[in-house]
A = this chain, B = another copy of it.
């Protein structure tokens, strides 16, 4: 059933039927009603391809996800983010176009998506310190929003980020207040902007208290359970092992906890752990009370908010860039306690 068939059957022109269905005022309410009833009766649904060709809008928003054989691909955080974004898209009649590409072709993928015209906007995930996608997308002239930030970017761009630096600053201060001095940082990959900022916050807090950052107590890797475990194992084997860990996510924190358990160390007593908690739906940080003390910010809520912003960028084309920064909460769990007295 297409528009012509429907209008023929109603004895109306295509124009009138189209207007009736799209809520234009030039059509009488009785006619509109008649058209709508017929549409539902025959299960008429305008062809999206034709519609988007005519309107010039695809009603689709692109998300490009790089994958490679070595990295974790669709990472944990990502799937909660798109859950949030997807809800908002659905509410506004948009669909999400997911494009998985080998990570060496990621940049091409964006320009292809933009030039093909299959999306009205794109969401940028996981920005690095100096992310090439930002100038690229600016040049292409396609609306985009960055989840995170790219500190070295020269031109303004829309983004929403968590105040990662402040979050890790606070976490570090909190541990210092508990008397910890040998604090380990189990960070994400530091070419990522968020990881670099977290490290900056960590170091800044140490410096303020005249604690020298120790390179042996800082690691940087993908945020997996094993990378957390490995880092903890290695650091706990040192002469002067850390009495506390700050982890980039709940996943490596679980690895750290496993390393503690293996050594018979009690979390929150012998060794403290703080992590960043993205409130991942299927890896919640406890129920009534948190397992890990954590700096917390919901990535799903961020997805919702980013989607809302992106849609408004498409429809309203604001000239002032959106630069929203969320503060993470610091929630107390059972994984932290005073530094054990030195032997």
Say whether A116 contacts B226, CB under 8 Å.
no
Bitwise interface map of A from 16 to 56 toward B, beta carbon under 8 Å scored 1, else 0: 00000000000000000000000000011111111011000
Query: A115 contacts the other chain (Cβ, under 8 Å)?
Result: yes
Known interface pairs A47-B117, A282-B251. Does A98 touch B95 (Cβ–Cβ under 8 Å)? yes
**Copies per complex of this chain:** 2
A67-90 interface with B by 8 A CB criterion: 67, 72-76, 78-80, 82-83, 86-87, 89-90
Chain B CB within 8 A of A281 CB: yes
Flag if A112 contacts B45 (CB, 8 Å): yes
Q: Tell yes or no: A270 within 8 A of B by CB.
A: no
The CA of A73 and the CA of B118, in the complex, are separated in Å by 26
Q: Which of B44, B80, B100 contacts A86 (CB 8 A)?
A: B100
A-B contact pairs, 5 of them (CB 8 A): A49-B53, A53-B53, A82-B100, A87-B100, A224-B282
Q: In this complex, what residue of B is CB-closest to A63?
A: B98
A58 partner residues in chain B, CB cutoff 8 A? 48-49
**Complex interface: chain B residues within 8 A of A314 (CB):** none
Q: Bound state CA distance, A65 and B87, in angstroms?
A: 10
Question: What total of chain A residues lie within 8 Å of the partner, measured CB to CB?
Answer: 52
Q: Are B95 and A118 interface neighbours, CB within 8 A?
A: yes
**Cβ contact within 8 Å between B101 and A90:** yes
The complex places the Cα of A89 from the Cα of B153 at a distance, in Å, of 32
Cβ contact within 8 Å between A115 and B43: yes
- In the complex, the answer to whether A74 meets B83 with C-beta atoms within 8 Å is yes
User: Is A78 a contact partner of B79 (Cβ separation < 8 A)?
Assistant: yes
Extra inter-chain contacts (6) besides given A48-B118, A87-B100, A251-B282, CB under 8 Å: A47-B116, A65-B86, A89-B100, A90-B102, A95-B97, A226-B284
Q: With the chains together, A80 CA to B67 CA distance in Å?
A: 11
A130 within 8 A of B: no
Q: Which of A44, A96, A100, A225 gathers most chain B CB within 10 Å?
A: A100
With a cutoff of 8 Å between Cβ atoms, the chain B residues found around residue A87 in the complex are: 67, 100
